[in-house]
Amino acid sequence: MKQILTTILLITNFLLHSQIKRIEPPFWWVGMHDTTLQILCYGDHIADYKIALSKGKLIKVDKTANSNYVFILIDTKGLNPGKFKINFKSGNKQFSIPYELKKRKKQSAQRQGFDASDVIYLLMPDRFANGNPANDNMPGMLEKVNRKLSGGRHGGDIAGIIQHLDYLQDLGVTTLWSTPLLEDNEPTYSYHGYAMSDLYRIDPRYGSNNDYKRLADALHKRKMKLIMDYVTNHWGSKHWMIQDLPEKDFIHYWQDGQNGFKRSNYRMTTQFDPNATKKTPKLV
């Protein structure tokens, strides 16, 4: 009987645990200059639960108009690398999810960035080299490879970049800058990567998160640098948060737009045109 009850409790906790659909960031590090950390938890009516930590100081919990979100602010000061539990409780329902704080690499804050002495090579990975044709079409990714379409996916990937590092180094390149490699799951014209749908996952048509680390390691062995193009306000329509916004005004939003959304009327030239008048930015 005890074993049966234990099994029931484990199954119940698993089902409740599955209520959490997203945790971002998925992990963090100790030894950061700022010890405060905000964790986003997303799940069905997760805001109805009271939250407590097994370790660390819970500073506050922010809720939004959408009850599927909570933003947990904690202080990690004094915590060691390892896992702690985020506990959720609502009436008789309760469950816990593990959260990991990793050990930070020594002197990681002292790494040298790029400067005017570097030769930076900007490449678009889908258009550079196809090192692994097996990942051209991946389950769950809406757009499939089509080299006949100028705006389609052509198959370039991380493996192709790694295989051609000799070529880049022979050119005199010291720093590699790739357009975004993160998941962009738009049904068309997703090759550029600037309509990201997951900010924590390398697009599987380029490879995996581990493949990205392999690229960084391969460059570092050659005393070369890697710039990550990570534009956090460039989300695509398929980003999971766009599908279920925390707040109605979380993105540019006008009632007269199609389906309640209308693109903002920004003009990039107002930011870099040396001849732009002071009046110009007010016109857009």
Tens digit of each residue's pLDDT, the chain (284 residues): 445 444 444 444 444 456 899 999 999 999 898 999 999 999 999 999 999 999 989 999 999 999 999 999 999 999 999 999 999 999 999 999 999 999 998 888 888 889 999 999 999 999 999 999 999 999 999 999 999 999 999 999 999 999 999 999 999 999 999 999 999 999 999 999 999 999 999 999 999 999 999 999 999 999 999 999 988 878 888 999 999 999 988 887 666 655 555 666 666 666 677 777 777 666 55
Does any domain span residue 245? no
Of 244, 241, 240, 235, the closest CA to residue 263 belongs to: 235
Does any domain span residue 243? no
Residues 181 and 257 in one domain: no
Q: Identify the domain boundary among 80, 102, 124.
A: 102
Q: Left (φ > 0), alpha (ψ -120 to 50) or beta: where does 96 sit? A: beta
Does any domain span residue 11? yes
Does any domain span residue 108? no
Residues 137 and 89 in one domain: no
- Are 185 and 197 within 8 A, CB to CB? yes
Cα Rg of the chain (Å, integer): 23
**Buried/exposed code over 236-267 (b: 16+ C-beta within 10 A; e: otherwise):** bebbebeeebbeeeeeeeeeeeeeeeeeeeee
Does any domain span residue 24? yes
CA gap 149, 157 in Å, rounded: 18
Does any domain span residue 85? yes
Amino acid at 89: K
Name, in order, each residue with C-beta under 8 angstroms of 283's C-beta and a sequence gap of 6 or more.
none
Does any domain span residue 137? yes
Strands 69-75, 36-43: pairing is: antiparallel
The pLDDT value given to residue 234: 80
Residue 58 belongs to a domain with what CATH number? 2.60.40.10
Amino acid at 264: S
**Buried/exposed code over 83-105 (b: 16+ C-beta within 10 A; e: otherwise):** ebebebeeeeeebbbebebeeee
Of 248, 251, 249, the closest CA to residue 239 belongs to: 251
Residues 233 and 118 in one domain: yes
CA gap 121, 168 in Å, rounded: 8
Residue 167 structural domain = 114-237
The total of structural domains in the chain comes to 3
The pLDDT value given to residue 14: 45
Residues 274 and 216 in one domain: no
CA distances from 75 to 32, 34, 78, 235, 237 (A): 11, 9, 9, 29, 33
Does any domain span residue 72? yes
Q: Identify the domain boundary among 42, 69, 102.
A: 102
Residue 224 belongs to a domain with what CATH number? 3.20.20.80
CA distances from 79 to 35, 44, 75, 100 (A): 10, 30, 9, 11
DSSP 15: H
CB-facing half-sphere around the CA of 117: CA atoms within 13 A: 4
Residues 126 and 207 in one domain: yes
Residues 151 and 51 in one domain: no
Q: Identify the domain boundary among 74, 102, 130.
A: 102
Residues 184 and 213 in one domain: yes
Residues 121 and 232 in one domain: yes
Residues 131 and 66 in one domain: no
